Homo-oligomer: A and B are copies of this chain.
Amino acid sequence: MLSSVIFYSLDKAIRQYRKLAQANIDRAGIAITIDQWLVLRVIQEHDDLTQADIADRVFKDQASVARMISLLTKRGLLAAVPLPSDGRRSQLRVTKEGEQVLSDVQPVVLSNRSLALQGLSEDDLTLLRNMLERIYLNCSARAPTP
Residues of A whose CB lies within 8 Å of any CB of B are 2, 4-7, 9-17, 19-20, 23, 27, 41-42, 57, 59, 113, 115-120, 124-125, 127-129, 131-136, 138-145
Contact = CB atoms under 8 A, between A and B. Distances in A.
* 8 A-B pairs with the lowest CB-CB distances in the bound complex, closest first: A16-B139, A13-B132, A9-B132, A20-B139, A13-B135, A15-B59, A13-B136, A20-B143
A35 B128 CA distance: 25
Total identical chains: 2
A14 B20 contact: no
A139 to B, nearest CB: 4
Contacts of A117: 6, 135, 138
A128 B10 CA distance: 9
Contact of A2 (B23, B57, B127): B57
